[in-house]
Structure 1
Amino acid sequence: MYNSIIKSSSNVSISSNESLSAGTTNTNSLPIMRNDYSLDSVCCTKRTLHTFTHMWIVENFSSYLQDPEPIICLSSSPFSPVSSASASTQWRLVCYPKGNYGAASNYMSIFLEYIKGERDIKAKAEYSLVNRKCELTEMRKDAQFSIYKCGNSRGFINYVKYDTLTLFENDTLDDDKLKIFVRIIIMDDAITEETKYQEFDDTESINFTTRGLEALVRDFTQLLLHSSSKMSDIKIKVKISPTHSTDVTESNSDSNSSTVTFNAHKLILAARSPVFAAMFSNSTLENKTNIIEINDLRSDTIQSMLEYMYTGKVNDIKKSTVELYRCADKYQLEDLRLQAEMALMSSLSIDTSAEILLLADQHHSKDLKSRVIQFIVNGNLKAITQTDGWHKYVACIPDLVTEVIQATVLE
């Protein structure tokens, strides 16, 4: 509960320079006071979000596509959250390899079914396929929370074209195994605690939580900066392209090599990212060799990602916002992705809007995409369509051009 509560018998003035934590999500802190306020009592409204994950492996997947039956339904074993108030609930995944009734031609369908529970659940889900490189692909997310009643199922009837799954160059199937990864977020009801009337015994106690978090960030920063091969248990090797040769630094690059190596810790990576958690929970190449090879991101981006995973912040997020957004989405670092998205919104300009529009479309960010299109149609259309970025990123994609034109007409 609260470490410090204002007594009811007399007003106590809280100065604006006292360090108080913002928001109402932490029941051990008070709201920020920017000026002097007199408070007699305090209460807190809180809501908890519980996240749990599950992987379903379907062996000999191509045989289901060759089965003469027009409709085939597969179900996973029941699974439950490990902890939380919803631990007694049971869920399962349902897959139609050749599509459910009403599915478009050549599409696989995927659903999440709520099969056991004593109450309705507010939840949403994120579906992905895990390819042979242990990368999450074909990610589809519920746009918002839905109410699940026992026996209900929700998902995507047109999830992914099944005839592309068997293409060798797609790398989706690993030894003809389809790996389906689901991340489920359950929303609890909001709870408001009763109003408290207690005395401030020690003004300094307000700062305990803040000082503790600052010390935690400081210590984990040192852990990241001074990780040696003896202290760490995983190496991240990033290939350096000729155009990014300046990324190589004497302190962390392999001599006579085109890679930059970062030392890290499996436990921290797994705790922060469900992608790394899935990677280290299975007999993957990375888990066996203790080496993660990354070829699609720059080394400074990976350094920023590790900085965020160890300390919860990135000092210069505007340095490479576009690539950091891709990195955060790839490894499901939701808070980092939102930070990068906000930075992209604030950096919108005539020169950057085309690239950001393509990024939002590729990563299915409705909010970011809507903001960019609104920026384009609000008097900037002519200037933006004449930029090199428009011809490089947007003009070659008819669907994006159509969306912009339609928005212009509506405007």
Structure 2
Amino acid sequence: MSAGTTNTNLLPIMRNDYSLDSVCCTKRTLQTFSHMWIVENFSSYLQDPEPIICLSSSPFSPVVGASALTQWRLVCYPKGNYGAASNYMSIFLEYIKGERDIKAKAEYSLVNRKCELTEMRKDAQFSVYKCGNTRGFINYVKYDTLTLLENDTLDDDKLKIYVRITIMDDAITEDTKYQEYDDTECINFTTRGLEGLVRDFSQLLLHSPPKMSDIKILARVSPSQNSNGIIEINHHDSNPSKVTFHVHKLILAARSPVFAAMFSNSTLESTTNIIEINDLRSETIQSMLEYIYTGKVNDIKNSTVELYRCADKYQLEDLRLQAEMALMSSISVETSAEILLLADQHHSKELKSRVIQFIVNGNLKAITQTEGWHKYVACIPDLVTEVIQATTHE
């Protein structure tokens, strides 16, 4: 046998003709949940004469799963904790309520004004949290860099802290049915399938021919209307100020209980296959359709107030929650009055509480002098009373 050659007869023979009488599988669940904490007027804590300041978030919990009854909170030292290096902010995760020890790890980030995650720090491995335990980073980020003019971390002097927590459950071994598979084909088909679904439905919304749709939505044209693939400007119709969206009944009904009820009864819309929406701008309707077809909105900050009303009107709960979070992060002296009226009209206690807190926290005089206050709030005595009562409680 010459050098450099291999005798294939000496290689082990790999066979796949074995048989099995039984199979068991050991499983371990990893549950991930997230929370965002907004600290307003953050620079004031850096200017506070107290050498050490401790801030705590409200308690939060996983929405579902075996750990749904546990409670956690974030703890922040804007000017550092004891033992922190000079000019560093400290951040910690505290396990505050639970009946058992939890194996978990956390990933911390700051959300900048562009809604991007920055300053990411994460635990290298899982740790055992006993109730009352606190873990995190003493030297998380240099706080003096947060306030630089060229830095986008602070949005209107608000520090947004985002944490993603992964909980590791105990391993469980159980009998299971045997199913042959090829390791080389072991791909995350669920993720890939969802990505393909979003892509295909986006194409269906943007580029499907009008003849393939079975219903039209008519909306009013906004002064700055820009048409794209899903919009048809009705230049030849009797009303040229209308915009037409070619859509599909089954998709609308599957995503919105309001549309489902509309098409299930003898309504004008189900008979004519035309829905006229006159109380929302066409851009808002376009964003709503993006969400209905793909589960996301590309630019939710474009028309957040009206999109919130739209989501509430058509009972699109996830879209309403996304819009509500965007509204919470956009509260300012100029916008607070309109957001307060919106929260009151749509019975959003959390959003309303957040706006009132902003108003009474040193901004009352400036806000009452804005045009928005006189337009949205001053003419509603009950709202004015609530704000005054909140001021007296401060």
Q: Does 1:245 align with 2:245?
A: no
Query: Equivalent residue for 1:404?
Result: 387
User: Any gaps of 5 or more consecutive residues in structure 2?
Assistant: 1-24, 34-61, 67-104, 108-121, 128-168, 175-180
Q: Does 1:340 align with 2:320?
A: no
> Please, which of 183, 189, 200 is the counterpart of residue 208 of structure 1?
189
SS in 1 for 2:323: helix
SS in 1 for 2:205: helix
Query: Equivalent residue for 1:301?
Result: 284
Q: CA deviation at 1:229?
A: 1.8
TM-score under structure 2 length normalisation: 0.55
Per-residue CA shift, 1:35-68, capped at 9, x if unaligned? 65479xxxxxxxxxxxxxxxxxxxxxxxxxxxxx
User: Given residue 339 of structure 2, which amino acid in structure 1 is its aligned partner?
Assistant: I
2:27/2:171 contact within 8 Å kept: no
Cα pair distance change 1:235/1:32, threshold 3 Å: farther
2:257/2:314 contact within 8 Å kept: yes
Alignment of 1:283-294 (within 5 A): 283-294=266-277
The whole-number CA distance in structure 1 between the counterparts of 2:253 and 2:387 is 40
The whole-number CA distance in structure 2 between the counterparts of 1:310 and 1:205 is 29
Quick one: percent identity of the two aligned structures? 73
The whole-number CA distance in structure 2 between the counterparts of 1:334 and 1:322 is 15
Alignment of 1:189-338 (within 5 A): 195-197=171-173, 202=183, 205=186, 207-240=188-221, 244-247=222-225, 249=227, 252-256=232-236, 257-338=240-321
Per-residue CA shift, 1:177-205, capped at 9, x if unaligned? xxxxxxxxxxxxxxxx984349x995984
Cα pair distance change 1:194/1:38, threshold 3 Å: closer
The whole-number CA distance in structure 1 between the counterparts of 2:294 and 2:193 is 13
The whole-number CA distance in structure 1 between the counterparts of 2:343 and 2:259 is 24
1:21/1:210 contact within 8 Å kept: no
The whole-number CA distance in structure 2 between the counterparts of 1:406 and 1:218 is 50
SS in 1 for 2:188: helix
1:21/1:32 contact within 8 Å kept: no
1:233/1:290 contact within 8 Å kept: yes
1:252/1:260 contact within 8 Å kept: yes
1:237/1:291 contact within 8 Å kept: yes
Query: Equivalent residue for 1:175?
Result: none
The whole-number CA distance in structure 2 between the counterparts of 1:289 and 1:322 is 30
The whole-number CA distance in structure 2 between the counterparts of 1:203 and 1:383 is 64
User: Given residue 386 of structure 2, which amino acid in structure 1 is its aligned partner?
Assistant: E
Per-residue CA shift, 1:229-282, capped at 9, x if unaligned? 221111000023xxx222253752111511000011100100100000000000
The whole-number CA distance in structure 2 between the counterparts of 1:26 and 1:227 is 40
The whole-number CA distance in structure 2 between the counterparts of 1:328 and 1:393 is 21
1:239/1:260 contact within 8 Å kept: yes
Cα pair distance change 1:7/1:340, threshold 3 Å: closer
The whole-number CA distance in structure 2 between the counterparts of 1:236 and 1:357 is 30
1:252/1:262 contact within 8 Å kept: yes
Per-residue CA shift, 1:163-183, capped at 9, x if unaligned? xxxxxxxxxxxxxxxxxxxxx
The whole-number CA distance in structure 1 between the counterparts of 2:384 and 2:258 is 33
Q: CA deviation at 1:362?
A: 1.0
Q: Does 1:387 align with 2:370?
A: yes
Q: CA deviation at 1:386?
A: 1.1
Q: Which has the larger radius of gyration?
A: 2
Query: Equivalent residue for 1:354?
Result: 337
SS in 2 for 1:349: coil
Query: Equivalent residue for 2:136?
Result: none
User: Given residue 252 of structure 2, which amino acid in structure 1 is its aligned partner?
Assistant: L
Q: Does 1:373 align with 2:353?
A: no
Cα pair distance change 1:6/1:381, threshold 3 Å: farther
SS in 1 for 2:298: coil
The whole-number CA distance in structure 1 between the counterparts of 2:285 and 2:391 is 38
1:354/1:390 contact within 8 Å kept: yes
Q: CA deviation at 1:227?
A: 2.4
The whole-number CA distance in structure 2 between the counterparts of 1:226 and 1:195 is 48
